[in-house]
Amino acid sequence: MSSIQISKVTKRFNDFTAVSDLSLDIAEGEFVALLGPSGCGKTTTMNMIAGLEEPSEGSILFNGQDLSATRIQDRNIGFVFQNYAIFTHLSVYRNLAYGLEVRNVPKSEIERRVRAMADRMSLVHRLDQPASSLSVNEMQKLAIGRSAVVEPRIFLLDEPLSNLDAGFRAYMRAELKVLQREFGQTMIYVTHDQIEAMSLADKIAIIDKGRLMQYGSPLEVYNNPANRFVANFVGSPRINLIDGALREEAGRMTMMLPDGGEINLSGQVGAAFAQIGSARSGSFAIRPQDIYFGESRAADDIAMQGVVDSLERVGPKRLAYLQVGQTLFLAIDDQDRLTAGDQVEFHLSADKSMAFDLKTGARLA
Ligand code: ATP
């Protein structure tokens, strides 16, 4: 096991900066997801932790130690990459045994560990078959099993589930979590899928354009996004993010919606927008579950009038798209009381509303 301290790491490829001034403290045994859109620098960060790339600036320490002079194979780091490196001509058994063989583990011990891993990955019946005969799902289990069997102190996984179908992905997610708990390894997991990150990780590092946007537990980043990017990236169904010009009249702030309608900005959000003033545009955000129908529940809650544009069933609930001018608010109709085309009054919970500076993305409230 090992803790990892990434301090002020920058990685440049010629003129292009792929990772910029990144600092992350990863505790021993922690499961950290690196989350961000394609090209944001996740794999580059992972490669630097693995020792496959060198930082242009900054340092990466393992239990306080600099391993840059240590050979990659001696660092006790396990990898699973998207294009899993399986030896397809070898049997499943030999693939699982490979990492233990190169570490000179005694034969009887190899046998025991390979069988235990094959058992947990439901590959026992495949042990003697060539890896090339495996299905995509089995191949992925083999890739994970092959790295996990050597019990590395750090386990790096780069989009390991992205080639799998949805049902099997969910199964493998659960399996990975169990594996990590059992071995207590420090696990770093690259994904662009926020649901995967939210369900697996102890902590999520959200990265955009090579920069760390926020680092915290799934609940922290969900409940308290540090900026507009994180608010928009995390949460399913997605947060309502509404950009508009701010107007101040007699001390009251209003957001003018494009093509008609407005939001009366009361409470903390109104106060925060008042600080940046009416010359600027703002970004108002509220999660679908914080929009409600019927009587107002708190004095500051914001009343809106709209039309039910469409409804979409998701399990026992329906997602309701409410149109105000040309802006759509996504809400949850959990009592099946709406009909498409209805005029409807709804409320935005002031306590749960968020305000961002549109230009910088900074959180204002
Ligand atoms: P994806 O999810 O698509 O793999 P990512 O977040 O993992 O994306 P990286 O693969 O780390 O992103 O790439 C970050 C940026 O750095 C990209 O714009 C990529 O083109 C660039 N990049 C990565 N490796 C190199 C390299 N060896 N030379 C030049 N540019 C590179």
* 112, pLDDT greater than 90: yes
Residues 229 and 245 occupy one common structural domain:
no
**Pairwise CA distance, residues 122 & 133, whole Å:** 15
Q: Tell me how far the alpha carbon of residue 136 lies from the centroid of ligand 1, in angstroms.
A: 25
Domain end position, chosen among 233, 258, 281: 233
Residues 198 and 64 occupy one common structural domain:
yes
126 falls within a domain: yes
Looking at ligand 1, which atom is closest to the CA of residue 11?
Answer: 16
Q: 3-state class of 144 per DSSP?
A: helix
Average pLDDT over residues 323-343: 94
pLDDT confidence of residue 84:
61
What digits encode the pLDDT tens for the residues 135-151? 988 988 899 899 889 88
Residues 121 and 211 occupy one common structural domain:
no
Average pLDDT over residues 290-310: 96
The total number of structural domains in the chain stands at 3
State the pairing for strand pair 77-80/154-158.
parallel
The model's confidence at residue 254, banded by pLDDT at 50, 70 and 90, is very high
Residues 252 and 353 occupy one common structural domain:
yes
* SS percent in the chain: helix, strand, coil, step 5: 30, 35, 35
Q: Tell me how far the alpha carbon of residue 44 lies from the centroid of ligand 1, in angstroms.
A: 6
191 falls within a domain: yes
pLDDT confidence of residue 246:
92
Looking at ligand 1, which atom is closest to the CA of residue 34?
Answer: 6
The model's confidence at residue 252, banded by pLDDT at 50, 70 and 90, is confident
162 falls within a domain: yes
Ligand 1: which residue has its CA nearest to atom 11? 41
Ligand 1: which residue has its CA nearest to atom 8? 39
Q: Tell me how far the alpha carbon of residue 76 lies from the centroid of ligand 1, in angstroms.
A: 25
The model's confidence at residue 165, banded by pLDDT at 50, 70 and 90, is confident
Q: How far apart, in Å, are the Cα atoms of 358 and each of 50, 164, 246, 353? A: 37, 37, 11, 15
Read off the CATH number of the domain in which 37 is found.
3.40.50.300
Of 308 and 153, the one with more pLDDT? 308
Ligand 1: which residue has its CA nearest to atom 2? 38
Residues 264 and 126 occupy one common structural domain:
no
Pocket of ligand 1, beta carbon within 6 A? 13, 16, 18, 36, 38-44, 192
364 falls within a domain: no
What digits encode the pLDDT tens for the residues 37-87? 999 999 999 999 999 899 999 999 999 999 888 888 788 888 887 666 788
Q: How far apart, in Å, are the Cα atoms of 197 and each of 89, 179, 202, 263? A: 33, 16, 9, 33
> Ligand 1: which of 38, 42, 44, 48 to mutate, most ligand atoms within 8 Å of CB?
44
Domain end position, chosen among 233, 255, 271: 233
Number of Cβ within 10 Å of residue 84's Cβ equals 18
Looking at ligand 1, which atom is closest to the CA of residue 44?
Answer: 11
Q: Tell me how far the alpha carbon of residue 38 lies from the centroid of ligand 1, in angstroms.
A: 8
Residues 112 and 221 occupy one common structural domain:
no
Ligand 1: which residue has its CA nearest to atom 21? 18
Domain end position, chosen among 142, 160, 189: 142
Dihedral sign (CA 270, 275, 281, 286): negative
Residues 262 and 353 occupy one common structural domain:
yes
Looking at ligand 1, which atom is closest to the CA of residue 159?
Answer: 2
Q: What is the pTM of this model?
A: 0.91
Residues 61 and 210 occupy one common structural domain:
yes
Q: Are residues 306 and 260 in contact, defined by beta-carbon separation less than 8 angstroms?
A: no
Q: DSSP labels for 2-57?
A: --EEEEEEEEEETTEEEEEEEEEEE-TT-EEEEE-STTSSHHHHHHHHHTSS--SE
The stretches of 184-301 forming alpha helices (DSSP H) are 194-200, 218-223, 228-233, 267-276
Read off the CATH number of the domain in which 310 is found.
2.40.50.140
Q: Tell me how far the alpha carbon of residue 179 lies from the centroid of ligand 1, in angstroms.
A: 29
Residues 27 and 49 occupy one common structural domain:
yes
Residues 291 and 258 occupy one common structural domain:
yes
Average pLDDT over residues 249-271: 90
What range defines the domain where residue 101 resides?
84-142
Residues 245 and 113 occupy one common structural domain:
no
Dihedral sign (CA 91, 93, 99, 100): negative
Indicate the Cα dihedral angle 135, 137, 141, 146, nearest 10°: 50
pLDDT confidence of residue 313:
93
The model's confidence at residue 260, banded by pLDDT at 50, 70 and 90, is confident
Ligand 1: which residue has its CA nearest to atom 23? 44
Question: Based on the number of CB atoms within 10 Å of its own CB, is 284 exposed (0-12), middle (13-18) or buried (19 or more)?
Answer: buried
pLDDT confidence of residue 181:
84
Rounded to the nearest integer, the mean pLDDT of the chain is 92
29 falls within a domain: yes
Looking at ligand 1, which atom is closest to the CA of residue 40?
Answer: 6
Residues ≥6 apart with Cβ < 8 Å to 334 = 316, 317, 318
Contacts 24+ apart (CB under 8 A), 147-152: 147/78, 147/79, 147/80, 147/99, 148/78, 148/117, 148/179, 148/183, 149/96, 149/99, 149/100, 149/113, 149/114, 149/117, 150/78, 150/99, 150/100, 150/103, 151/183, 151/185, 152/76, 152/77, 152/78, 152/185
147 falls within a domain: no
Ligand 1: which residue has its CA nearest to atom 16? 18
299 falls within a domain: yes
What digits encode the pLDDT tens for the residues 203-242? 999 999 999 999 999 999 999 999 999 999 999 999 999 9
Of 234 and 176, the one with more pLDDT? 234
Residues 64 and 90 occupy one common structural domain:
no
The model's confidence at residue 1, banded by pLDDT at 50, 70 and 90, is low
* 170, pLDDT greater than 60: yes
Ligand 1: which residue has its CA nearest to atom 18? 39
14 falls within a domain: yes
* 258, pLDDT greater than 60: yes
pLDDT confidence of residue 163:
78
Ligand 1: which residue has its CA nearest to atom 26? 13
Ligand 1: which residue has its CA nearest to atom 30? 13
> Ligand 1: which of 20, 43, 56, 159 to mutate, most ligand atoms within 8 Å of CB?
43
Ligand 1: which residue has its CA nearest to atom 14? 41
